[in-house]
Amino acid sequence: MWRDIQLLEFKSITDAKKKLKTISKRWNYFGDKLNRRGALIAEGLTSKKWGSIEFPTSLPALPAFTLLDTGRLAYSLKVQRPTSSGEISFKENKKIPPSRAYLKLWEAFSILGKWPQAGESVIELGASPGSWSWALAELGATVLSVDRSPLHENLSRYPNIRFQKGDAFSLEPQKSDWLVSDVICFPGKLLEYVTHWLASGQCQKFICTLKFTGTPDPAIVDRFRRLPHSRVLHLFHNKNEVTWICDASVVSR
Ligand SMILES: C[S@@+](CC[C@H](N)C(=O)[O-])C[C@H]1O[C@@H](n2cnc3c(N)ncnc32)[C@H](O)[C@@H]1O
């Protein structure tokens, strides 16, 4: 999503480059029409080729431009995604994690520009079979994984994962650097639960998926969006769900 589209007229490729450079040093080029000409303008302005990304990597959402015709381009300084098409592809680990669900967690961390550091604590709700647990443990975090079902046996090699069997929502707020949730439940139930956590002040960084059955409910998405320091995104790796990202640590430090 491009939020503040503006038009720029140019006489030549060099002129377009010069004008774009005065607005921002780095751009994402969205190739749609006149791709050859656009690519020539983009040369030297776009610093990254988006192939498979090695996590952890911070993915800032750069300003983006696209050509409208030979002498006009449209650009936006406020874009919602780090790549101009919204697609993000990571180098995957196909051996240990029991599913590919960790890709949406990686994507959320990359967009936030933060992820759990070695030694930080993470409470993870709805952890089974354990691909998020794997991703968190690989970062060196200390993970408390809660689920009604057990973790996959591949996770037993990680001493920094502690598994707790039971109902995620019976866990009371406690000191933790991160709370992440991939629990399958009604978004309203999750909202009530995270509101309780936010009020407790015990944790400042949250990443939770809001899952929908059938048509998504925009009203509940809006309530998550209105929580302090929050955004709700439909990530490239989300299915019939969206991701709530909340980072209260920046302002309260
Ligand atoms: C989509 S799966 C999580 C997948 C996980 N993120 C991964 O990467 O492997 C959702 C999980 O939520 C769990 N779940 C649903 N309701 C729960 C509850 N009230 N308490 C604990 N776990 C719950 C289910 O058992 C299921 O394992």
**Domain end residue (candidates: 76, 108, 129):** 76
For residue 42, how far is its CA from the centre of ligand 1 (angstroms)? 44
Domain tally, the chain: 2
Centre a 10 Å sphere on the Cβ of residue 110 and count the other Cβ atoms it contains: 21
Q: How far apart are CA 253 and CA 234, in angstroms?
A: 28
Q: How far apart are CA 55 and CA 184, in angstroms?
A: 26
Q: At 37, is the secondary structure helix, strand, or coil? A: helix
For residue 164, how far is its CA from the centre of ligand 1 (angstroms)? 12
Q: Is residue 87 part of a domain?
A: no
Query: What CATH number is associated with residue 146?
Result: 3.40.50.150
Q: Mutation test of ligand 1: which of 106, 136, 144, 147 has the most ligand atoms closer than 8 Å to its C-beta?
A: 147
Indicate whether 252 pLDDT > 70: no
Taking the CA atoms of 152, 154, 156 and 159 in sequence, report the sign of the dihedral they define: negative
Any residues with Cβ below 6 Å from ligand 1, and which? Answer: 99, 101-102, 126-132, 146-149, 167-169, 182-185
For residue 129, how far is its CA from the centre of ligand 1 (angstroms)? 8
- Nearest residue CA, atom 27 of ligand 1? 128
Please check whether residues 35 and 106 belong to one and the same domain: no
Q: Is residue 203 part of a domain?
A: yes
For residue 98, how far is its CA from the centre of ligand 1 (angstroms)? 13
Q: List the domain range (segments joined by +) for residue 196.
A: 93-252
- pLDDT value for 193: 98
Distance from first CA to last CA of the chain, Å, rounded?
30
| Model confidence, pTM | 0.89
Please check whether residues 135 and 192 belong to one and the same domain: yes
Q: Is residue 86 part of a domain?
A: no
Indicate whether 150 pLDDT > 90: yes
Please check whether residues 71 and 124 belong to one and the same domain: no
Please check whether residues 66 and 143 belong to one and the same domain: no
Residue range 36-79, pLDDT digits in tens = 999 999 998 986 666 788 999 888 888 999 999 999 999 999 88
- pLDDT value for 253: 43
Please check whether residues 213 and 241 belong to one and the same domain: yes
Give the contacts of 245 (CB within 8 A, at least 6 positions apart).
Answer: 108, 111, 112, 206, 207, 230, 231, 232, 233
Please check whether residues 121 and 211 belong to one and the same domain: yes
Please check whether residues 153 and 58 belong to one and the same domain: no
Q: Is residue 81 part of a domain?
A: no
State percent of the chain over pLDDT 70.
Answer: 97
Residue range 162-210, pLDDT digits in tens = 999 999 999 999 999 999 999 999 999 999 999 999 999 999 999 999 9
- Nearest residue CA, atom 5 of ligand 1? 127
Q: How far apart are CA 29 and CA 3, in angstroms?
A: 16
For residue 128, how far is its CA from the centre of ligand 1 (angstroms)? 5
- pLDDT value for 48: 61
Give the nearest ligand 1 atom to 134 CA. Answer: 8
Phi (first) and psi of residue 221, to 5 degrees: -60, -40
The answer to whether the beta carbons of residues 177 and 122 sit under 8 Å apart is yes
State percent of the chain over pLDDT 90.
Answer: 81
The position carrying tokens 């776009």 is 46
Residue type, 136: L
